[in-house]
Amino acid sequence: MPLIAPSLLASNFLKLADECQMLNESEADWFHLDVMDGRFVPNISYGIPIIEQIRKTTSKICDVHLMIVEPEKFAEDFKKAGADILTVHIEACPHLHRNIQQIKSLGMQAGVAINPHTPVNSLLEVLSDIDVVLIMSVNPGFGGQSFIPHSIEKIKQLRKMIDDAGLKTKIEVDGGVSLDNAKQIVDAGADVLVAGNAVFKSADPKQTIHQLKSL
Ligand code: DX5
Ligand code: ZN
């Protein structure tokens, strides 16, 4: 059974408290919080003050996905804002090992995200140091894009790498996840499904979360 991490990027920001309440009442496991800086990705989303407020509404895991350059400058601020998991992009981190150590030393779980063009074997030397690998199944920056089919192969390869090494690292898949493709993604080896539009734009978000969970 996968963990479900709805992405608040697709929520109604004017009703953020209600959206958080809905997730609290649902079977969602994690709150997925997308931070974009307009530099690493061609879009700007929301930042630390919003995450601080969201944190106050929930005891579920706050899974912060940083799509920003120089994440080391803000890791401590995200910890203070209440992040449980802090994920950085391999493409934004020339000193990735140092970033991972920093996140863990601040008491958070460490995640590493990879863009569609980045091979899973680029994670080989850090896999045993991290808690989560986030496979981007769209190009980061926007919600509501279509799932890139090749991502399935990457999930399978990573599943094998993790199992062969006897690790517990979780595979999180982010971008274009829907009720139509979720089963295929889980069967390929994903542990965590991020879903933005599929949840928040559905007629009954709680029911959609339930369906994603029971695939
Ligand atoms: C994209 C973000 C995703 C996004 C997913 O850059 O990292 O988390 O919110 O949205 P959907 O599920 O609508 O593709
Ligand atoms: Zn994300």
Instruction: List pLDDT tens digits, range 53-79.
Output: 999 999 999 999 999 999 999 999 999
Q: Is the pLDDT of residue 43 over 90?
A: yes
Beta-carbon neighbour count of residue 75 at 10 Å? 21
> Based on the structure, what is the number of domains in the chain?
1
- pLDDT computed for residue 62 by the predictor: 99
Is the C-beta atom of 82 inside 6 A of ligand 1?
Answer: no
Whether the full predicted model's pTM is greater than 0.75, yes or no, is: yes
Let me know: does 26 contact 60? Beta carbons within 8 Å. no
Is the C-beta atom of 111 inside 6 A of ligand 1?
Answer: no
- pLDDT computed for residue 36 by the predictor: 98
Beta bridge pairs of residue 6: 195
Q: What is the mean pLDDT of the chain?
A: 98
Nearest ligand to the C-alpha atom of residue 65? 2
pLDDT per position as a tens digit, 1-29: 999 999 999 999 999 999 999 999 999 99
Beta-carbon neighbour count of residue 209 at 10 Å? 24
Q: Which residues, at least 6 apart from 210, have a Cβ–Cβ distance to it below 8 Å?
A: 26, 27
Nearest ligand to the C-alpha atom of residue 42? 1
Nearest ligand to the C-alpha atom of residue 208? 1
- Put the strands of the sheet holding 170-174 in their side by side order: 3-6, 192-195, 170-174, 132-136, 109-114, 85-89, 61-67, 30-36
CA 128–ligand 1 middle distance (angstroms): 26
CA 78–ligand 2 middle distance (angstroms): 15
pLDDT tier at 105, thresholds 50, 70, 90: very high
Identify the three-state secondary structure at position 116.
Answer: coil
More confident residue, 101 or 215: 101
**Would you state the structure tokens that stand for residue 163, as one six-digit string?**
């199992």
Mean pLDDT along residues 154-181: 98
Is the C-beta atom of 196 inside 6 A of ligand 1?
Answer: yes
Residue-number span of the structural domain to which 40 is assigned: 3-213
Let me know: does 113 contact 88? Beta carbons within 8 Å. yes
Is the C-beta atom of 6 inside 6 A of ligand 1?
Answer: no
What's the gap between Cα 81 and its chain centre? Answer: 17
Is the C-beta atom of 9 inside 6 A of ligand 1?
Answer: yes
Active-site positions read 34, 174
We report the CATH number of the domain holding residue 111 as 3.20.20.70
CA 167–ligand 2 middle distance (angstroms): 23
CA torsion 72-77-7-93 (nearest 10°) is 0
Q: What atom of ligand 1 comes closest to residue 136's alpha carbon?
A: 7
